[in-house]
Structure formats: structure tokens, C-alpha cells
Copies of this chain bind each other. A is one copy, B any other.
């Protein structure tokens, strides 16, 4: 007998939120919108441009919402990741990363025929490869020199190395220097507010020193891009960045939720994983239907979310492939455990790689499914 049915969707617009099939990624649209508008207002107030990072959401519907509220474009972290955003009409995309290999340079140069595209470099050979690809495609690529401001990952250290790459860029008619990228990922997750402020200040100082040396050499950086959801409140006032590139603020995962916030720029948890209790047989714990294939655990296990806050009585203590183990925080308090078949909402530990597991985001408002948005760039890591 031929297979005459498709897998039913996890959710359809109009259905009650508590009937979404699980595990599913659920976005509280009111909270999400507040986050988007709060970041935009902070950037506008500081006179700094906002270029949100799409590696956090991989979702053209979200990028369009960000641009509609004033974002100048988006960042992507990989070339292939940019494809669905170009298709969706995002007109200005920065690849906030170096790329390797002629296939990626060629794809990037093709994309530059449809949108303004920029990319980072930290080696002369990358510049030559980009120039050749853009020339072959009849397009132009904007280039940022990435400066290592303390993360010790990508980027060159110090103005002399930057200047060499700037000269190399200038030698190619198919490339245009757009400015500097100065991003420090490690400081985003420093827990203490003062520690983050101090680290962001050091990062800005290093960046400012390079800019001053470049200006003394007659090189002007139109754009200085950097900053993440953990540092933007400091980056906005640094006087160094012309553009910030936070991503996670739209969702706020448990990791960012574990940072201390003393300032006024705070974001709310909008992203949840809807799960169901699938076994209570063990008695002292219950098993959820969401494990390693439904969430990234690299930054810690998820929070259990109940009544608008992280649960004070239940912990998600272990993730197997398709099972999540929940125990009472106080041993023996099994009365606090949810019943078989009941629904449990989680805040994922790390939003970016969690989004990368799902094909759809289910948007809810007022207890009803309002939209189902494709995570169109899911899996696009090339």
C-alpha cells in the first residue's frame, strides 16, 4: 500500500498553544517583539547602527522583523547561511567571519550580485581569493579586516598587520575596504556585570588604539563592527563601534539569563522548548520527550520554566538523545513532579545551536499559535 499521508505539522496558526506537538520550539511573540524594539531603541539612542546576528535565529521572518524596526542589515556567520536571507530580500549582509576555499568565495561573489555583501579577512591569501571570485562574477565585495581584540581566535593583532591587509585590499578593484571587525565572544558570557563592563572597556580600548594608528596612516574606517548580547550596553557608549551585531537578545537563553545585569538594557526570555512528560515509571523522577536532539547542551542544561520564571522546585538534570530527566530540587519532593502526559516548558541553555536543530519556530500570542516560521538557514554551515 503506498504511503498516503505526510507527517502532520507540529502546529497550525489558530490552534491553542497548549496543543502544539512536542518537542517544538515556541516563541512568545509579545516578548520577542519587546526584545527587538528594546535593542533597536538602545542603538538609536546611542547613534549606533544595529546589525543583528542571524546565526542566532537562522530565520528570514525574524530578520525581516528586525530590519522593519530599523536594523541596517544582518550578520551571518557562514556563506551558505546567507542564501535564504538574500532570497528573502535582506539587502545588506555581513559575513562576520573568514572563509576558506574557492567554492565559498565563488558563492559569496554570486550573492553580491543580489545584495550588498561584506566579509572578514585575516590573511592576504583570503583577500586574493575573494578578489578573483568577485572579478569572475562581475560583482564587488566589501571587506572588513578582523582585529583580534583578545579572543585569540580569528583576526590579526595590531595596526601594522591590519595596514598590510588594507594595502592588499586596495590593490584589487573588485574589493572595497569597509572597515574593521572587533568582536570578543568570550567576554559575552562573563557572569558579573562589572566584569563584563571592564572587559568590554578593554576590548574597546584595543580597538580604539588600532583605529587611531590607522587614521594616523591615512586609513579611515567607515564601519567598526562588533559587540554581542552580553556586551552591547557597554559597546554602545564606547565611542568606538559604529555598528553592533548582537544575536541572542531576541531570545535570551539560559546562559545569557545567568549573566548579572545591573544596567537598564535587559532582555526577556522569549524562546522555549515545549515538551511532554513521557514516563513517570521511575517514581523519583520524570522523563521528558526532549533530549540532545532537541536542544544544545554545550552551555548547560535547560531551565524548567513555569509561571513566568525558572522553576525553583524542579531541575532538568540529564539529557539523553531523546530523553530529558527531571528531578525535584529537594530530594524526595516527588509531589512537585509533573504528571504523565503533562506539558513542560524549557528555556534552552544555548539558543544558537538549539535553533539549528529545528525546521520551524512556532510563534504564539495570547495562548494561540499565530505563525509558524521556517528556520530556513538551519543546517547551512558551509
> SS class of chain A's interface: helix, strand, loop or mixed?
loop
Q: Mark A92-116, 1 if CB is under 8 A from B, else 0.
A: 0000011111011001001001100
Q: Mark A215-234, 1 if CB is under 8 A from B, else 0.
A: 00000000000000000000
Within 8 A of B (CB), among A182-200: 185
Give min CB distance, A362 to chain B, whole Å: 12
Partner of A279, one of B122, B297, B353: B122
- A325 surroundings in chain B (CB, below 8 A): 153
Partner of A99, one of B5, B8, B104, B278: B278
Give min CB distance, A358 to chain B, whole Å: 7
Within 8 A of B (CB), among A344-359: 350, 352-353, 356-359
User: How many A residues touch the partner, as a band?
Assistant: 35 or more
Q: Mark A281-299, 1 if CB is under 8 A from B, else 0.
A: 1101101011011101110
Q: Mark A348-375, 1 if CB is under 8 A from B, else 0.
A: 0010110011110000000000000000
Task: Check B321 against A77 for contact (C-beta < 8 Å).
Answer: yes
A348-B122 Cα distance, complex, nearest whole Å: 28
B-contacting 9-mer, from A41-49, A66-74, A78-86:
A78-86
The chain B residue with its CB closest to the CB of A294 is B381
Task: Check B114 against A21 for contact (C-beta < 8 Å).
Answer: no
Within the oligomer, what is the number of copies of this chain? 2
Question: Is A333 interfacial (CB 8 A cutoff)?
Answer: no
- A60 surroundings in chain B (CB, below 8 A): none
Task: Check B381 against A359 for contact (C-beta < 8 Å).
Answer: no
Task: Check A153 against B7 for contact (C-beta < 8 Å).
Answer: no
Task: Check B285 against A152 for contact (C-beta < 8 Å).
Answer: yes
Give min CB distance, A301 to chain B, whole Å: 10
Task: Check A281 against B101 for contact (C-beta < 8 Å).
Answer: no
Question: Is A214 interfacial (CB 8 A cutoff)?
Answer: no
Partner of A282, one of B7, B110, B153: B153
Question: Is A148 interfacial (CB 8 A cutoff)?
Answer: yes
Partner of A87, one of B3, B78, B101, B321: B3
Which A residues form the contact surface with B (CB < 8 A)?
1, 3, 5, 7-8, 10, 21-24, 55, 77-78, 80, 83, 86-87, 97-101, 103-104, 107, 110, 113-114, 122-123, 125-126, 146, 148, 152-157, 185, 276-282, 284-285, 287, 289-290, 292-294, 296-298, 319-323, 325, 340-341, 350, 352-353, 356-359, 378-382
- 7 pairs across A/B with beta carbons < 8 Å? A7-B380, A23-B382, A24-B382, A154-B282, A154-B323, A298-B319, A356-B357
> A-B pairs with the 7 shortest C-beta distances?
A122-B281, A100-B278, A154-B279, A100-B276, A292-B353, A77-B322, A293-B356
